[in-house]
Structure 1
Amino acid sequence: MKPLPLYRIYQLMNNMINNHLSVLVHRRAEKYGDKVALKYRDYETSQWIPITWNQFSQTVRQVANALVELGVQEEENIGIFSQNKPECLYADFGAFANRAVTIPLYATSSPAQAQYIINDAQIRYIFVGEQFQYDAAFSVFGFCQSLQQLIIFDRAVVRDPRDMTSIYFDEFLETGKGLPNNDIVEERTSRASDDDLANILYTSGTTGEPKGVMLHHSNYIEAFRIHDIRLVDMTDQDISMNFLPLTHVFEKAWTYLCIYKGVQICINLRPVDIQTTIKEIRPTLMCSVPRFWEKVYAGVQEKIAQETGLKKAMMLDAIKVGKIHNIDYLRKGKTPPLMLHLKYKFYEKTVYALLKKTIGIENGNFFPTAGAAVPDEICEFVHSVGINMLVGYGLTESTATVSCFLNSGYEIGSVGTIMPDVEVKIGEENEILLRGKTITKGYYKKAEATAAAIDKDGWFHTGDAGYLKGDQLYLTERIKDLFKTSNGKYVSPQALETKLAIDRYIDQIAIIADQRKFVSALIVPVYGYVKEYAKEKGIEYKDMEELLQHPKILGLFRARIDTLQQQFAHYEQVKRFTLLPEPFSMERGELTNTLKLKRPVVAKNYKELIDKMYEE
């Protein structure tokens, strides 16, 4: 191999120095100055408040100095237990300047979950967001020997009368005013290296206790490099809506990437408000999970169902034309025929434009989507109407992206093309194995779990099954989640759940099959749609439980399920189902913080209902 020229070595070293998370914000402030870096919504005035790069940088410096004032040491673990707020980023980058490690907790974490993480990581200081997080953290204070102080972001939080140690973020920030400890911060920053630990991200886990995934600065620096190669359309003119929790690697790594690229980040505080905030910001970029697009699809299908005559025909034709133009031609790198192209352009200015404006994405550049399987119908529809959804696949352990769609040449049903310099191979049981500089070095204080996940040749075992077709990656199932019926047949619950969840009447679904003689399902309906249907059909009922047991409602769901599951083998199809009057919940332990089903808990909580479905 030829040695690298000196200019290239200098360029790579310069890149590392300027893109290390300990200095990243400051380097971008030097470049962008008074350009807007962040925005957040003031709920009292309904206004979006801008924060410039210079302000961002200055606040990070103050936080870094205030952390020294607290006595935070290099390589110390610091907790951030909050919903998405600018303060989360201030705390992150202030910690990195001190070579400290940040550990985000989901805003919805229970006291028990918070207690486990605080004790496992021996956290002394934890930043908390609003009242819920404060109450949860304070309630376990006495059970966490390491914990010394809570720092509260929101001034509206009411402290417990017994609380003698907590301070508000503005009070904390005041101790860093004038940068009294800047010499110490600068000295620590000068020692920062790629090998420093940046984050410990605790995966909530559908079984067993959480594992802390260690992500080093080298993981993020490599992620920046390979995304530079792949996402060439991403520039400092883009505006990104920060919607998913910053606790999740998808949004966290994406937000760091946006800072690296100089993208303006608009921080959505309350996930339920996204339909409002997205229209206020009208972003060019936004990470999302498939459920967001499933709801868009369901809304369009509902609209089409309500229309008649010419308007309905026009909407159906627009989707058909878009499919031929974008999927049959452009996706394959072919030029569409002139008449088709002209027709597409007409719909682009009418039907598609109206749809995008209604959602709030008429300025859209591209929209990364991951976290669960994207149903083929959804993927096809979104691309047909000219929305550039980049389907991808990744894990916390891979610093997010392993693969993602290219602008053309993507295959519907796949999770895209492997990222540059990420090695992928298929192992035993068709398990996807990964190797590369974005892959974690292991789990925090869990040597056995690390050894089980990363083999002697450095391959990380994902637990996901799939296959490669050229450089396109396809997922088939989660190996550990494969169900084996009592008849010896294997069933993939995710495949069925993904297929059935696109139905507009189904909100949540849990497939039951393990060691059972056939497949059944627990279904949480979209209650509003069920009520509308009951009204149309003149069905009388006293409560939701009675309505969901009505023969006409059961018949409606039976017909819709049978239509959707036709492509599955007979033994894979849902034979019986139960409609639940209440949704699955995190409070009852049935969902993780990322809203994945905890199957053992569901099986336990609904044992009687499940057993009833298998009675002769």
Structure 2
Amino acid sequence: MDAGHLAVMFAGSVARHGELPATRVRVDGEFVVQTYAELGAQVRQLAARLIDRGLAPGDRVAIFSTNRPEWSLADLACATAALVSVPLYPTSTPEQVRHIIRDAGATVAFVAGQAEIDKLTEAGLDDVAVISFDELDGVTGLSDELAAAPSDFTAVEERLAAARADDLATIIYTSGTTGEPKGVMLTHRGFTHQVAVLNRYFTITPKDSSLCFLPLSHALERAWTYVVLADGCLNTYVPDPRTVAEMMVAAKPTLLASVPRLFEKVFITAQEKVADSPLKKRILAWALRTGSAYHDVLRAGKHPAPLLTLKLKIADKLALGAVRDAMGGPKVVLACGGAPLRTEIEEFFYGCGLLVLQGYGLTEASPLVTFPSSASIRFGTVGKVMDGGELRVSDSGQIEYRGPNLMTGYWGKPEETATTIVDGWLQTGDVGTLDEDGFLQITDRIKNLIVTSNGKNVAPAPIEGLLASDPLFEYTLVLGDNRPYLTLLVAPSLPHLEDIAHQLQVSWSKREELLNNQQVLDEIRRRVSELTAKLPKHEQIRDLRLLIEGFTQENGLLTPSLKVKRREVEQRFSALVEDMYNRAGKFLKR
């Protein structure tokens, strides 16, 4: 058996941690817990059943479900049976489901329940064998498959004996902000190498627990779950990500991997609570300064002075403790990835006693490329390259990476693979810089860079990050490629939009009326001008439009990692965009 294989790694964890809790999920208000021994036994049973179904090594099996313990059960069973799992996002449309399953050639699909079965039917995939996690009349259930598993595990043992770290583990179809999803082929070694590296830098023990709320079909949550299960920790699954705030408090995880949106919401909520009182603002600012000073001393390896310790206790009672409580308490690892996190938010959580470790990765790298350790962190960067990997920045500014966790290529797309991996180096499509100490800073996606008709290069992400500091701007999109100046589309926070209208004493019967109200627009333009006042002239916003339709995964304007799909937004609202540029001369008031 190859220790670099996921199934072998998990079997070792089961042997070491058998009686410890492995998974839990809240059902009807109560946690349902499964031990490592119980999970391990079901993994072997399901693997035996999949082999008994006639699935050969390398066959593809789809997993189409929200986060739940059965997701990991199906995934680990596939690994144990030498099969290749193909995850689908719960929010996938029937068209996306059809493309992925047909492209991958999956013949079996694990699904959460009826909603996923309906999509398979609408997609015309009646020839795919369905196994439902939910018990449904007339549908083969997971419990049926476990009951039908052969008692002889010889076939399972034979496949484990033949398992190799370089075997294909999964094909993850990139959600992407542009273009048709491509199947990224990742090996077992890609994931297990990351587990080994992270365990060199972080002390994660079976006493720790994690909250699994990002989609498991996303490479970040998937890879992090392997870390959690390899180290004998408890993984709490969150089927509905809308309940994450509630679940953080209920589960009190000591480990958490998230995308920036969660941290942004907590930050904005804290700012809103003090917005109506200058005194409360000063208290929060003092508390954050105190917390930062205290933790600076600790990070320097020194003991805080008694007076500073006393100040911290006061700051905790006044403000900081409430933020930590909202995040479910102290954290051993609090990771952030998927998109850049603003430095002011990193500093905010640091002051609260929560060190956010912002890393960088891509699905094509399984996904880890860089990360900071608790002992080596620099705000505004995404850490240093992972052990065993190499990083460089090309003359054009593109970040390039190679390492043992790199994909073997795109499924069935050798030409696209050849343009993405050049001489062994992954062309990430991201622009960034490396400082003299090896810390990486991300600027933007190459495809997102705007070149105005005046020849000015603009990275929109930093501008959008500035605007995000105002809770009004829930999502923004800076435009201006091959145009004379920049404009802005705003999907506002509707409650904040209404607050502005109330403050301005504007009356309305429908929210849509606020989109074109001159007083409201003037106030929003004032805020944009104020937030971007220090930017160079060519990075100033010259006009904007409000959108009543928000950006969501359901309407196809957000990726599962909550990044805006720029092309889709521009196409959806092309009439508004053209209107802005046709009204030349109507610029923002300076």
Q: Same fold (TM over 0.5)?
A: yes
| Amino acid of the structure 2 residue aligned with 1:126 | A
CA distance in 1, matches of 2:516, 2:302: 52
CA distance in 2, matches of 1:59, 1:88: 12
Q: Mind listing any 5+ residue stretches in structure 2 that lack a counterpart? A: 585-590
**Residue 326 of structure 1 pairs with residue 309 of structure 2:** no
1:214 maps to which residue? 185
1:459 maps to which residue? 425
2:34 maps to which residue? 51
Superposition map of 1:267-278 within 5 A: 267-278=237-248
**Residue 66 of structure 1 pairs with residue 46 of structure 2:** no
CA distance in 1, matches of 2:327, 2:263: 13
**Residue 21 of structure 1 pairs with residue 6 of structure 2:** yes
| Amino acid of the structure 2 residue aligned with 1:131 | Q
| Residue pair 2:334, 2:355 contacting (<8 A) in 1 also | yes
CA distance in 1, matches of 2:377, 2:33: 37
Shift of 1:226: 1.1
**Residue 154 of structure 1 pairs with residue 146 of structure 2:** no
1:249 maps to which residue? 219
| Amino acid of the structure 2 residue aligned with 1:562 | S
SS at match of 2:347: helix
CA distance in 2, matches of 1:492, 1:40: 42
CA distance in 2, matches of 1:442, 1:332: 44
**Residue 127 of structure 1 pairs with residue 110 of structure 2:** yes
Q: Of residues 146, 150, 162 in structure 2, which corresponds to 1:173?
A: 146
1:494 maps to which residue? 461
SS at match of 1:29: helix
| Residue pair 1:331, 1:409 contacting (<8 A) in 2 also | no
Give the paired residue count: 582
CA distance in 1, matches of 2:54, 2:469: 51
1:315 maps to which residue? 284
CA distance in 2, matches of 1:99, 1:25: 14
CA distance in 1, matches of 2:461, 2:414: 30
CA distance in 1, matches of 2:523, 2:308: 38
1:304 maps to which residue? 274
| Residue pair 1:151, 1:168 contacting (<8 A) in 2 also | yes
Superposition map of 1:219-234 within 5 A: 219-231=190-202, 233-234=203-204
| Residue pair 1:115, 1:137 contacting (<8 A) in 2 also | yes
1:200 maps to which residue? 171
CA distance in 1, matches of 2:356, 2:86: 30
CA distance in 1, matches of 2:443, 2:299: 23
CA distance in 1, matches of 2:519, 2:292: 35
Relative to structure 1, the CA distance from residue 474 to residue 72 in structure 2 (aligned partners, 3 Å threshold; closer, same or farther) is same
Q: Deviations over 1:440-486 (max 9, x none)?
A: 12111111111111112x11111111111112111112112211111
CA distance in 1, matches of 2:44, 2:72: 12
CA distance in 2, matches of 1:209, 1:57: 36
| Amino acid of the structure 2 residue aligned with 1:202 | Y
SS at match of 2:76: helix
Q: Deviations over 1:280-301 (max 9, x none)?
A: 1111111111111111111111
When normalised by structure 2's length, the TM-score is 0.94
Relative to structure 1, the CA distance from residue 481 to residue 537 in structure 2 (aligned partners, 3 Å threshold; closer, same or farther) is closer
| Residue pair 2:339, 2:563 contacting (<8 A) in 1 also | no
CA distance in 2, matches of 1:471, 1:108: 38
| Residue pair 2:68, 2:239 contacting (<8 A) in 1 also | yes
**Residue 136 of structure 1 pairs with residue 119 of structure 2:** yes
Superposition map of 1:170-569 within 5 A: 170-176=143-149, 179-231=150-202, 233-307=203-277, 309=279, 311-326=280-295, 329=297, 339-348=307-316, 350-357=318-325, 359-456=326-423, 458-469=424-435, 470-569=437-536
1:3 maps to which residue? none
| Residue pair 1:371, 1:393 contacting (<8 A) in 2 also | yes
CA distance in 2, matches of 1:295, 1:193: 43
| Residue pair 2:261, 2:562 contacting (<8 A) in 1 also | no
| Amino acid of the structure 1 residue aligned with 2:89 | Y
Q: Deviations over 1:177-196 (max 9, x none)?
A: xx435111111111111121
**Residue 81 of structure 1 pairs with residue 58 of structure 2:** no
CA distance in 2, matches of 1:335, 1:36: 36
SS at match of 2:90: coil
Shift of 1:436: 1.1
CA distance in 1, matches of 2:370, 2:530: 32
CA distance in 1, matches of 2:261, 2:175: 19
Shift of 1:106: 0.5
Is the deviation greater in 548-557 or in 569-578? 548-557
CA distance in 1, matches of 2:504, 2:210: 44
Shift of 1:345: 4.1
SS at match of 2:56: coil
Shift of 1:428: 2.7
Is the deviation greater in 417-426 or in 579-588? 579-588
Relative to structure 1, the CA distance from residue 317 to residue 104 in structure 2 (aligned partners, 3 Å threshold; closer, same or farther) is same
Relative to structure 1, the CA distance from residue 569 to residue 324 in structure 2 (aligned partners, 3 Å threshold; closer, same or farther) is farther
CA distance in 2, matches of 1:430, 1:331: 33
Is the deviation greater in 166-175 or in 111-120? 166-175
| Amino acid of the structure 2 residue aligned with 1:505 | L
| Residue pair 1:98, 1:185 contacting (<8 A) in 2 also | yes
Q: Among all aligned residue pairs of Structure 1 and Structure 2, give the percentage whose two residues are the same amino acid.
A: 34
SS at match of 1:23: helix
CA distance in 1, matches of 2:539, 2:278: 37
When normalised by structure 1's length, the TM-score is 0.90
CA distance in 2, matches of 1:462, 1:452: 11
SS at match of 1:117: helix
Relative to structure 1, the CA distance from residue 105 to residue 193 in structure 2 (aligned partners, 3 Å threshold; closer, same or farther) is same
| Residue pair 1:41, 1:269 contacting (<8 A) in 2 also | no
